[in-house]
Amino acid sequence: MTGGNTKLDAARRALLHLAVHADALRAAPRAWLLAAWWRLCGKRLRSRSQMAPLLGASPRAYRLWLMAQPEADKRPQPVDGPAIAALVEDGPGIERTLASLRREGIEHVAAPAATMRDAGHAAWIMPLHAGDLLAEGAGGAYRHAAAQAGPGTHLLYADDDIIGADGSRGKPHFKPDWNADLFEHHDFLTGASLLRVAASDLDDLPRGNRAEALTRRVLARTVAEGAQPLHVRAILHHRCDRPAPIRPAPIRPAPIRRAASRHDPSLAQPSVTIIVPTRNRIDLLRTCLQGIADTRYAGALDVIVIDNDSDDPEALAFLKGLEPGTARVLRHPGAFNFAAMNNRAVEQSTGRMVCLLNNDIEIRDPHWLETLVRQALRPEVGAVGPQLLYPDGRIQHAGVVLGVGGGAAHAHRLLRPEEEGYFHRHALPQFVSAVTAACLVAQRSRILEVGGMDERNFAVSFNDVDLCLKLNARGWQSFYEPRAALIHHESVSRGLDRDPVGAARLAGELAALKERWGTGGEIDPFHHPSLSPFSERFVVRF
């Protein structure tokens, strides 16, 4: 009987897999056919990278992911651990919620103060909304995590999805590990967390939104004690599909307050050296420098154009004719080594801050630099990068994700900024693992302290990722700031077909990245193991 069920399940998965491919083919026939052609040509990684976002966009993709989960993961496992009590907001569907609590061995308490007295000075409380359900095994997963939590860990949170009245599930939220700035714009804790509550946390809780108020109080206490919430990487909550959703939604950030005057001492900003590598292509450089000239920044600006053997007469004349107040030209002859060029310019820079800027960047927002510098000045922040857009308006860079394609890739690439994407992540300021050196702002002293870019192992590719990871390791985390948006005139198709020498060089740099930082196997803490490692979009893995 078991064998028959296994065969039936396999057949259902195969049919659903075909349906997902059919959805992708209907939605994007040319892209799907191109991915299929690459597969036939033996270019498996390229094919999977193209196909993964197409399949992940299917409304049936999550169903396929659910069917692919091992049966052992779907059954509740008894786990010893601390007692858990639930505080449930009253409302429609509360009986379903209470039934799921009883199944998981979690007590429902109307007044958690009583539980506090029974437990002593603190207790594990789970605030829930009526109608929301716990997944099978959620109680055991939380007890196990709570038993492993250290004394300063007062908040655990898990992934969630939406459940309909008919029991169908969709819209999974596979969350990042703790990301404080992302939480400021998207509350991904409330209604999907477990709190170690102290008596003071329960004082004067407001009616109607106790879950949010209690979660934020415990979060504040956790941060004040120098700790952070612990992520349980599993879907433990099914949020009720209501006409008015209780699941918190992302909120687009307000604009950063601008400096009113270059002469206002209260708004003094640090000096910045902008470093622009170039070789010929004076059309690009002219546009880039004009954007810098139009930039409104209250601090001192110094521009270094580092020239790698330009030989076009027009380019040479343009560089020679640059006025001293516009930019100084630093010659860097020899083979192209992006890391070495930038390192040399950083050493000769005079600004407190350094901005690495590609010559093919077009600046349309005069406040871009101020926006990035403000984040880079924070004591816990290292490299800061903006949202970069292709000339057609689609996203080229929204932070860097480790592990995609075995190395690192730009998050949310080819998404349009106005699209929802993955919970609007591309539109929200947040910590990331790395940002691109096409536009990167950081404190000069910190770049020098970690030794700058690695000229030997990452002469052309991944030098920015390596730099960011070195800064991260010192406690200066990379940061993505979408409120600064620039145009990057990199071709959408750049790099698809490389010459043998270039391909060999890239393979060596990718191998070095994997060896040094484990990008071939480690999960990016701001990504998720259930998201596809072959897609720059955030789509389910199956």
Burial 81-102 (b: 16+ CB within 10 A, else e): beebbbbbbeeeebebbbebbe
The Cα 345–Cα 42 span in angstroms is: 42
The Cα 147–Cα 136 span in angstroms is: 19
Q: Fold match between 73-239 and 269-517?
A: yes
The Cα 332–Cα 455 span in angstroms is: 14
CATH class of segment(s) 73-239: alpha beta
Bridge partners of 483, per DSSP, are none
From residue 315, give the alpha-carbon distance in Å to each of 345, 361, 489: 20, 17, 18
Q: Look up residue 417 and give its two tokens.
A: 């900024």
Bridge partners of 158, per DSSP, are 232
Q: Are 185 and 428 in contact (CB under 8 A)?
A: yes
Q: Which long-range contacts (CB under 8 A, 24 or more apart) does 341-344 make?
A: 341/277, 341/306, 341/308, 342/275, 342/277, 342/306, 342/437, 342/452, 342/453, 342/463, 343/452, 343/453, 343/455, 344/306
Residue 135's identity, in one-letter code, is A
Q: Which pLDDT belongs to residue 36?
A: 87
Q: Which pLDDT belongs to residue 376?
A: 97
The Cα 12–Cα 14 span in angstroms is: 5
Q: Look up residue 211 and give its two tokens.
A: 């879950």
**Helix count (H) and strand count (E) of the chain?**
17, 20
Q: Are 403 and 417 in contact (CB under 8 A)?
A: no
**In tens digits, what is the pLDDT along the chain, a chain of 542 residues?**
445 567 777 888 888 888 888 988 899 899 889 988 888 888 888 888 888 888 888 989 999 989 888 754 554 555 677 889 999 988 888 999 999 999 999 998 876 665 555 555 568 999 999 999 999 999 999 999 999 888 889 999 999 999 998 889 999 999 999 999 999 999 999 999 999 998 888 887 877 788 899 999 999 999 988 999 999 999 999 999 876 667 889 998 988 766 544 445 445 799 999 999 999 999 999 999 999 999 999 999 999 999 998 888 998 998 888 887 788 999 999 888 999 999 999 999 999 999 999 999 999 999 999 999 999 999 999 999 999 999 999 999 999 999 998 899 999 999 999 999 999 999 999 999 999 999 999 999 999 999 999 999 999 999 999 999 999 999 999 999 999 999 999 764 444 446 777 788 888 899 999 999 988 888 899 999 999 999 999 999 87
Q: Which pLDDT belongs to residue 68?
A: 84
Q: Which pLDDT belongs to residue 21?
A: 87
CATH architecture of the domain with residue range 269-517:
Alpha-Beta Complex (3.90)
Q: Look-up: residue for tokens 């490389």?
A: 498
Its pTM stands at: 0.92
CA proximity to 328, closest of 311, 345, 352, 314: 345
Q: Which pLDDT belongs to residue 1?
A: 41
Bridge partners of 84, per DSSP, are 124
Domain spans in the chain, listed from the N-terminal domain onward: 3-68, 73-239, 269-517
Query: Which phi and psi (to 5°) does residue 451 adopt?
Result: 85, 15
